[in-house]
Protein backbone atom coordinates (compact mmCIF):
# COMPACT_ATOMS: atom_id res chain seq x y z
CA UNK A 1 0.00 0.00 0.00
CA UNK A 2 2.90 2.35 0.72
CA UNK A 3 4.06 2.13 -2.90
CA UNK A 4 0.56 3.05 -4.12
CA UNK A 5 0.55 6.11 -1.90
CA UNK A 6 3.96 7.16 -3.13
CA UNK A 7 2.80 6.75 -6.74
CA UNK A 8 -0.19 9.01 -5.99
CA UNK A 9 2.09 11.53 -4.31
CA UNK A 10 4.39 11.61 -7.36
CA UNK A 11 1.38 11.96 -9.68
CA UNK A 12 0.07 14.99 -7.80
CA UNK A 13 3.51 16.54 -7.25
CA UNK A 14 4.04 16.60 -11.03
CA UNK A 15 0.49 17.81 -11.70
CA UNK A 16 -1.02 19.39 -8.55
CA UNK A 17 -4.76 20.11 -8.47
CA UNK A 18 -5.87 23.69 -9.03
CA UNK A 19 -5.15 25.84 -6.01
CA UNK A 20 -2.39 23.60 -4.66
CA UNK A 21 1.35 23.46 -5.11
CA UNK A 22 3.72 20.52 -5.26
CA UNK A 23 4.97 21.57 -1.80
CA UNK A 24 1.41 21.21 -0.46
CA UNK A 25 1.32 17.66 -1.82
CA UNK A 26 4.71 16.82 -0.31
CA UNK A 27 3.51 17.94 3.12
CA UNK A 28 0.17 16.07 3.05
CA UNK A 29 -0.39 13.09 5.29
CA UNK A 30 -1.14 9.76 3.65
CA UNK A 31 -4.78 9.96 4.75
CA UNK A 32 -5.19 13.46 3.34
CA UNK A 33 -3.63 12.41 0.07
CA UNK A 34 -5.96 9.41 -0.23
CA UNK A 35 -8.99 11.57 0.63
CA UNK A 36 -8.03 14.16 -1.97
CA UNK A 37 -7.57 11.49 -4.63
CA UNK A 38 -10.94 9.94 -3.76
CA UNK A 39 -12.82 13.23 -4.08
CA UNK A 40 -11.01 14.27 -7.25
CA UNK A 41 -11.81 10.98 -8.97
CA UNK A 42 -15.25 10.13 -7.60
CA UNK A 43 -18.06 10.55 -10.12
CA UNK A 44 -21.28 12.20 -8.98
CA UNK A 45 -20.63 12.27 -5.26
CA UNK A 46 -24.13 13.50 -4.51
CA UNK A 47 -26.18 11.33 -6.86
CA UNK A 48 -28.01 9.66 -4.00
CA UNK A 49 -29.37 12.91 -2.54
CA UNK A 50 -33.11 13.27 -1.92
CA UNK A 51 -35.21 14.89 -4.62
CA UNK A 52 -34.19 12.81 -7.58
CA UNK A 53 -35.76 14.13 -10.79
CA UNK A 54 -39.44 14.60 -10.23
CA UNK A 55 -39.98 12.25 -7.30
CA UNK A 56 -40.96 14.17 -4.21
CA UNK A 57 -42.73 13.10 -1.04
CA UNK A 58 -44.67 15.89 0.64
* Alpha carbon 50 to its chain's center: 23
pLDDT value, residue 45: 53
What's 11's DSSP letter?
Answer: H
Residue 58 belongs to some domain of the structure: no
**Number of domains the chain is built from:** 1
What are residue 14's phi and psi, to 5 degrees? -75, -25
- pLDDT value of position 5: 92
pLDDT confidence of residue 42: 80
From the centroid of its chain, how far is CA 16? 12
The Cα 6–Cα 10 span in angstroms is 6
**Containing structural domain, residue 30:** 2-40
Residue stretches of the chain with pLDDT short of 70: 44-58
Residue 50 lies in a domain: no
Amino acid sequence: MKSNIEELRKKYIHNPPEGMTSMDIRNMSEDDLLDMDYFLNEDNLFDDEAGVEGFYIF
